[in-house]
Amino acid sequence: MRGGESNIGKSQVAGPAWCRPSTFDLRLLTPLFLLGAFAPAIGETSESDAMHYWPQWRGPLATGVAPHADPPVEWGEDKNIRWIVPLEGVGHSTPVVWGDLVILTLAVPIGDPVDPVPPHEHAHGAHDNLQSNRHHTFDVLAVRRMDGSIAWQRTVRKALPHEGGHVTGSLASHSPATDGERVYAFFGSRGLHCLDMEGEPQWSVDLGEMHTRHAHGEGSSPVLYGNTLVVNWDHEGDSFVAAFDTEDGKERWRVKRDEMTSWSSPIVVQAGGKPQVVISATGRVRGYDLATGEGIWHCGGLSRNVVASPVAGDGLVFAGNSYDWQAMLAIRLEGARGDLDGTEHIAWKLDRFTPYVPSPLYAGGRLYFLRHNQDLLSCVDGKTGKPVYGPLRLQGIDNVFASPVAAAERLYITDRDGTTVVLRLGDEPEVLATNTLDESFSASPALVSDEIYLRGREKLYCITRE
C-alpha cells in the first residue's frame, strides 16, 4: 500500500477543516423519493448516512441530486478552492465521498511503451482511438477531505490493456461505489474489487475481457443497493448483467442479454414494493428483479451507442440517447410487465434535443437534460413530457461529457474546457454564475456538504466557501 507520501504528492492548496453537512430542507425534494416509488440506490440500511454523502455514480438518490448539500455558487483558481491534488494517469470516473474520505479510481501508465496490442476483430472501423501500448496499474485512491492529503492508495491490478479506448475516454471511467464499510472499484476488463475503508483488499472478481464497439473502451459503473452490487456487461461478445454479494463477492445471479456495446450504468428503483434493476441499451430498456435477475418488463425505442444512464422519480423511469436518432422515453413502472411497446406504460416520448453522453437529472418533478454533448439545456415536466423551458443555450459552455448535478435548488453543468454554469432549479431558467478553472473535466462532479469535488484530467479540486 502507498501511504500519505504517495507519489501523487501533497495538495497544492491547504484550507480549513471540513464542515458539517448543511441543513438544506429535504422537504423540498419530497416528490423525488416519498411520492414517486423510488428508493435511494444505496439501500435502506445506510439511507440516513448516504443522504449526506455521494456514495456512487449519480449520488445518493441516483438522480444527480445531493439532498443535504449546499455548495458554493462561485469559484475560480484563486477563489473558494480548499485544495488541489495532482493526479496520476487519466480517469473519467466520478469520485465517491463518505465520512472524511474522497475515493476515486486511477489508471496509471508504467514502464516503457511496448508494441501495440493487435486490434480485436470488433475494433474494425475504429476511429479516434488510443493505442494500448503501455502497461498500467489500476489504483484506488483515498484523499482526506480536510486537507487533500493522501490517506491511502492501493493497486488492485497491473495489466497491458487489450483495447486502448477512444481518444476522449479513459481506462478509469467506471465510477466506484461505497456503503461506508467497503469500497467497490470496478475496472471492467481489469476486474471488480472490494476494499475496506482503510484500503485493505477484501475480494476481487475477474469477469474476463470486454470487447467494445470499435474498441472505443469501457465505462458502465456498478450500482449498489443494500448488500447487492450489480454490474452491466454489454459488449460485442456475450453480454450479461450480474449481481454480486457485497460481503464476499459471490455471484448471486447472471442473466444473458441480447445487446451490443453500451456505456449506460444501471439504476435500482422501487416498483410494487420490490427493487428492480433498470438498464438502458440499444435493443431494449429492461427491468429486472434485483433479488433473482428475472426479467420483468422491456421496451424499445433507443438507438445504438447508449451512454446516458436512466433516471427515475414519481413512479417513472426516463431513458434517452441521441446517436442514430434522438429519443427519450418515460416509462410508467406501476404494473409494468412484459413488452411495453405501444402500451399505456409508455407515458410519453420525445424525439428532439435528447442527451448522448451526459445523463439526465430529475428534481422537483422536472427532468433536465442536455442536447447530445452540447450547450442546449431543456427542462420538461416529468409526468407529461411537456416543455417547461428550453432548449436554452448556455453561454460559456461548449462540449459536455459530465452529467449535471444539483443541490440547494441549484443546477451545476460542467464542460470539458473547465467551465461550470450554475443555474437555479425551477420553471424559469436563471443563470447564477459561470465559473472557469484551468482544467479539462469529463468526470461528473460530486456534491457533499458545502463542497464540490471536481475530478479533472490532471487534478482533483475541492471547491468550498472560504
What pLDDT tens digit does each residue of the chain (466 aa) get? 444 334 344 444 434 333 333 333 332 333 333 223 334 444 444 567 899 999 999 999 999 999 999 999 999 999 999 999 999 988 999 999 999 999 999 999 999 888 876 666 566 566 677 778 889 999 999 999 999 999 999 999 999 988 888 887 888 999 999 999 999 999 999 999 999 999 999 999 999 999 988 878 899 999 999 999 999 999 999 999 999 999 999 999 999 999 999 999 999 999 989 999 999 999 999 999 999 999 999 999 999 999 999 999 999 999 999 999 999 999 999 999 999 999 999 999 999 999 999 999 999 999 999 999 999 999 999 999 999 999 999 999 989 999 999 999 999 999 999 999 999 999 999 999 999 999 999 999 999 999 999 999 999 999 998 7
Cell of 1: 500500500
Residue type, 422: V
| Residue corresponding to grid cell 433473482 | 292
| Residue corresponding to grid cell 484523499 | 143
Give φ, ψ of 27 to 5 degrees: -65, -25
Q: Could you tell me the pTM of the whole model?
A: 0.90
CB 111 within 8 A of CB 134: yes
Residue type, 213: R
Cell of 379: 427542462
Nearest CA to 193 out of 232, 246, 241, 151 is that of 246
CB 211 within 8 A of CB 234: no
pLDDT of residue 47: 64
| Residue corresponding to grid cell 441521441 | 322
CB 222 within 8 A of CB 174: yes
Could you state, in order of their start, the residue ranges of all structural domains in the chain? 26-464
pLDDT of residue 44: 45
Give φ, ψ of 438 to 5 degrees: -85, 65
**Helix (H) or strand (E) segment spanning residue 47:** helix 47-50
Exposure pattern of 132-163 as b/e (b: 16+ CB <10 Å)? bebbbbbbbbbbbbbbbbbbbbbbbbebebbb
216/208 Cα distance (integer angstroms): 17
pLDDT of residue 7: 38
pLDDT of residue 328: 97
149/11 Cα distance (integer angstroms): 6
pLDDT of residue 165: 83
pLDDT of residue 166: 81
CB 54 within 8 A of CB 104: no
Nearest CA to 391 out of 322, 292, 339 is that of 322
Exposure pattern of 199-226 as b/e (b: 16+ CB <10 Å)? beebbebebeebbbbbbbbbbbbbbbbb
The full DSSP string for 119-145 is: PPGGGTT--SBPP--SEEEEEEEEEET
437/378 Cα distance (integer angstroms): 25
**Helix (H) or strand (E) segment spanning residue 463:** strand 459-464
Per DSSP, the three-state class of 164 is coil
Fold that domain 26-464 belongs to in CATH:
Methylamine Dehydrogenase; Chain H (2.130.10)
In the sheet with 419-424, reading across from the earlier edge strand, the strands are: 405-407, 410-414, 419-424, 430-436
CB 99 within 8 A of CB 197: yes
